[in-house]
Every structure is written in C-alpha cells, then in structure tokens.
Amino acid sequence: MTTTHASPAPAVGAEDLSVWPASAAEPRPGELSVGAVALSAVAERFGTPVYVLDEGEVRRRCRSYRALFPEAEIHYAAKAFLCRAIARWMDEEGLGLDVCSAGELELAVAAGFPAHRIVLHGNAKTPHDLHEALRYGVGRIVIDSPSEIARLAAAVGPQGRQRVMVRVVPGISAGGHDKIRTGTEDQKFGLSVSDGYAQHAIARILDQPQLELTGLHCHLGSQITDVKPFLSAVRRMVGLMARLHEQHGLLLPELDLGGGHGVAYRPGEPALDLHRLARRVRAELSEACAAAGLPVPRLIIEPGRAIAGPSGVALYRVVSVKRTGGRTFVAVDGGMSDNPRPALYGVRYAPRLVGRAGSAARTPMTVVGRHCEAGDVVAADAPLPDDLRAGDLLAVPVAGAYHLSMASDYNMVGRPPVAAVRDGRARLLVRRESLEDLRGRDVGL
C-alpha cells in the first residue's frame, strides 16, 4: 500500500478524492463525509477552524506499515501530531513511539503508552528531557551530540544501564525542501561519518559501562518520494557497521532508517511507494550485510506524516471574498497560527467547498488566513467555485501532520480543537484553546 489510497478516476463533474481519507464519500452533491460523518455537521458541532481526524484511516495506515515491514519495528514519529488518543491508537496497533521532549514523553505515558517502546530523540536534549526519559524507563535514547554521552552516563549512575543509538549523518541529500533535509553535513542533526565524529562518539560510548549501544540511526529528511535515497542510506550505514566490527568487534543488532516518507498533498502529486520501499530496502539490507559478512540487523522505521497527515482534514469558515489587483482572495477564520507550513515551506494544498453544491465554474482563488502577515496564505491559486461567498465551509485535506503540532497563539486567536470521526460518530479529542487559557498564562501587571 502506498502512502495515498487508490481511488477510481472521478466521474465528470465529481471532485478528485485521491488525497482524502479512504472513507471520504459524497452522500449528496456538495456534501462530503469522512468516517461516515458529514464534515458540515462536524463544523456545526465544534465550530471552525477544526481539525477532523479519521481514526479508521490512522489505524489502516499503521496496519499497512506492519504488514509491509513485518520484520521491522515501526515507531510513530510523535512530532507529526500527538494527543492521548493517538498514543492509545499507536499502542493498540502495536507501534512504538518516537518523542523529542519530556512533554511528548509525559503525555504518551499519561495515556498508558509503555515507556519501553518509546525512543527519545533530539539534537539538544535538556537535563529535564534526559531525567524524565530515565525516570520513565524509555527503551532507547538516540545520541545526537558528543556532549550527551558523559551527561547521560552520569545521569544513569554507576549501577544503571541505558540502551542508546547514535544518530549518524550519512551525507545524503533528500527531502521536499531545504529546511527539511537532515541527511547532509550542513545542518544541526547527528554526527558525521566523513569527519570521524560519529566513529569517535561510538568509541566513547563503548567506554561507558552505563550505556549499551544497540545500533545506528539516520534520518534523511521529510517528504521523500523516491526510494533511492533510502537504499543509499542502507549501503552507507552497513558500511559503517562493517568498519565498527573490524575496529571494535562490534555487531550492532539494530539499524534505524528514520522516516520522511512523502505523501501527496494535491491530486497528481507523487507519494512514496511503500510496497517498493519495503521490497527494495529489504533486499538492499540483505545484500549489503552479506557482502560485509554481517548478520542482518533489526530494521526500525519512523513514519509520522505518512500515518497522520492523510488522515486529517482542516475545516475553515469563509469570512470574506475580495477581488483586488486581478486576484480573488478568500479569507478564512484560521491561517498560519494553525498551519504555518505554507509560510515555512511553500506547501500547496487543495481546498474544496463542502456543505453545499457550488457553481460548476471554477476560478483560481487564493485562500488566505486572518493573521496580520502578507505571507499568511493557506492555499494559492486554488480552483474554487466562482460563487463562493462568506459563510461557506472550506475543507483542506492532508491536514493531520505538522498543523496543530506546529500551531501558535499568534494574534491570540487560540488553537483549534481536534475531533475524531469513525463509523458515523464524532468525538472531541483536543478542545479549542480559549481566551481564558491565554489570559491564565499572563500573570503580570
């Protein structure tokens, strides 16, 4: 199964639902349902903006990964989006969790997620992050900097033992934007093989009896839609494992290839073919290990966006439609405070009108947010019905990852709620952030 579900070609006049959850359907002209719940009904019940998360789609994607990579550990990258329900779903579907802070860790554990199936990442782990990871007993901590080694060993104590991995920079450029490419030498993550920092860090870890090195980790970037960079990473990582075996007699049992599996945000865009990825990575890993005389390590992969992203939909209410300078601007009641990705990475979305049947004629319109920034654009030049008007409801697919997790309180608007839909029922997962919440943090006069 690929990261987008297969859909038949849309009928004449029908909308292309290929980037929507598999449960998306049009029960009547102009209406759209997800999880057998009308999106217009979700907006009426919870207000807008609101995120809609298809629980069935989340679980389906988890099961796809487990089926395609039966020999691997699948860890959901919590940074994409985490709430207590997501943590519970990941536990029930047999996935592990990757967290990047004490906050993510504590929320997951509070939801009942087993700490031994959690991995702590981060290029700048604070003393509090490490303290909480050890207190809860996380399964692994990924070393990202030489300075972490002594600090972590001291925190573990002479009688303790903590499993660790080392994040290696393999020198591979991959990803959908410069700001999300993390496999090259010119960014903040990991330890380089080319300058010897990774090898030196590994030697230091081996001298620490409190630390048990279980394997190597790499992450090439995000929104990768080609299999080839992952195959290059396998070869380079196995090459390093072979050198470590020669130098230290070390046989590492684990290899973490990270995530970054690309999804389509608009119909016709490429997505990573997971069937092909699984087949090619498995073959490449076996061949590389056989050539190096090494046993095949247990594979770990870390999908985040590819599970949560296509499972989510953002709903906005149109506030105004303005035609100026030869362009049509559609202003909605959300924007960059609930989705900064267009401003950060130039991401493009495919919004559509829901709740009523609009005109068949389409006009390119730029959907903009309510914030005091010219760059507050939700979707540029989106083809929308030319009778779009204030009060209409717009739905934006592929909104489940890096939206609420990156949201802010800019202009003190407050972050949107999250509602889950499944089998004709909707329920609230995360409530809307209120003005009382914002005022409560401001304690000075």
Q: Is 390 exposed, middle or buried (0-12, 13-18, 19+ CB in 10 A)?
A: exposed
| Cβ pair 251, 295 in contact under 8 A | yes
- Strands, E, within 127-246: which ranges? 140-143, 162-169, 191-192, 211-217
Q: How far apart are CA 44 and CA 250, in angstroms?
A: 60
Q: Tell me, what amino acid is at 114?
A: P
Three-class secondary structure of residue 261 per DSSP: strand
Three-class secondary structure of residue 197 per DSSP: helix
What 185-191 contacts at long range (C-beta under 8 Å, 24+ apart), as own/partner pairs, is 188/123, 189/123, 189/144, 189/219, 190/123, 190/144, 190/218, 190/219, 191/143, 191/144, 191/145, 191/146, 191/166, 191/167
- Please give the C-alpha separations between residue 259 and each of 75, 175, 222, in angstroms, as whole numbers: 9, 11, 7
- Strands, E, within 244-311: which ranges? 254-256, 298-301
Q: How far apart are CA 226 and CA 64, in angstroms?
A: 19
Q: Tell me, what amino acid is at 140?
A: R
Torsion of CA 21, 27, 30, 32, to 10 degrees: -20
Which residues are annotated as catalytic? Answer: 372
Q: How far apart are CA 239 and CA 249, in angstroms?
A: 14
Instruction: Extract the tokens encoding 154.
Output: 């001291």
- Please give the C-alpha separations between residue 232 and each of 86, 101, 171, 229, 398, in angstroms, as whole numbers: 32, 30, 10, 5, 29
What is the distance in angstroms between the CA of the first residue and the CA of the last residue of the chain?
Answer: 56
- Please give the C-alpha separations between residue 313 and each of 153, 346, 388, in angstroms, as whole numbers: 44, 19, 20
* DSSP class per residue in 79-96: TS---HHHHHHHHHTT-E
Task: Give the number of other Cβ atoms within 10 Å of residue 59's Cβ.
Answer: 17
